[in-house]
Amino acid sequence: MATLLHCSSSSTLLDNHYSIDFYTANISLSPKSLPFSSNKNSREASLHLSNNGCNRNLELFRKWRAGVSFFSSFSVENEEIERLKQELLEAIAPLDRGAAATPEDRQRIARKLEAVNKVKEPLKSTLLNGKWELLYTTSKSILQTERPKIFRPNGKIYQAINVDTLRAQNMETWPFFNQATANLVPLNARRVAVKFDTFKVAALIPIKSRGSGRGQLEITYLDEELRISRGNEGNLFILRMVDPMYRVPL
């Protein structure tokens, strides 16, 4: 059966902003305002205080400028990520979940978005939790492109992951309704080994795995809406979050 967790031995499925008013923050002390303004000491004291005021203003300006620069770059970065996501979704929309993709499509899709991934340790992120719908893949065992279309998985395909229990589940819908559940073993902060334990045929008949269903999965992009993963055989998976509350059976 074809599943999203690809096996090596068998193919299976701030909003706080710095705000500095330079006019009210300005410190101006004249010699006349000091009680000892008539002598040399008073002039030196006035000059010292004035310099302190200038230094403070410069420091406030530097902090303000750093804050503005940070928030501006943060906003631009988010806008760029959203643009790349939209570009990706538009690119894969007509590709029949990857079945109609050309070799050129397969090479270029997802690379730009993976390069700006912010979640460097996805296995420690709750964003990974929930049920994801498969939008695109390069996996031939899932697409079954060698079969007539009527005998391929034509309904939606889902994958669910729970990082707290390290469980995963693949679910096909029409026409086969096959399922598979697996244990996940972290290899690092973004890659897991996948060990399938149970398969269900037509979502009804359970079959225990004999240990041959194994593979690896790496999370290369993650946010609250979209996930990109790559299997140990180089297959690409692009998924969209549909139910963040879904729990995988233990």
* Per-residue pLDDT, 68: 47
For residue 11, what are the contacts with CB-CB under 8 A and spacing of at least 6?
A: 2, 139, 140, 141
In the chain, the N- to C-terminal Cα span, in Å, equals: 21
Nearest to 121 by CA among 192, 216, 230, 219: 219
* Per-residue pLDDT, 186: 97
Angle at 227 between CA 113 and CA 94, to 5 degrees: 75
For residue 121, what are the contacts with CB-CB under 8 A and spacing of at least 6?
A: 189, 190
d(CA 78, CA 73) in angstroms, rounded, equals 9
pTM of the entire predicted model: 0.72
d(CA 2, CA 10) in angstroms, rounded, equals 9
**Cross-strand bridge partners of residue 159:** 132, 170
* Per-residue pLDDT, 187: 97
d(CA 184, CA 50) in angstroms, rounded, equals 65
Burial class (CB within 10 angstroms; exposed 0-12, middle 13-18, buried 19+) of 51: exposed
* Per-residue pLDDT, 213: 76
Quote the DSSP letter at residue 112: H
Instruction: Give alpha helix (H) positions in 109-217.
Output: 111-115, 140-143
For residue 3, what are the contacts with CB-CB under 8 A and spacing of at least 6?
A: 12, 13, 141, 142, 159, 170, 172, 178, 180
* Per-residue pLDDT, 67: 55
Per-residue pLDDT of the chain (250 residues; tens, 9 = 90+): 444 654 433 333 323 333 222 222 333 333 444 344 445 555 554 545 455 555 666 666 565 555 544 444 556 689 999 999 999 999 999 999 999 999 888 888 999 999 999 999 999 999 999 999 999 999 998 999 888 888 888 999 999 999 999 999 999 999 999 999 999 999 999 999 999 999 998 888 889 887 767 899 999 999 999 999 999 888 999 999 999 999 999 9
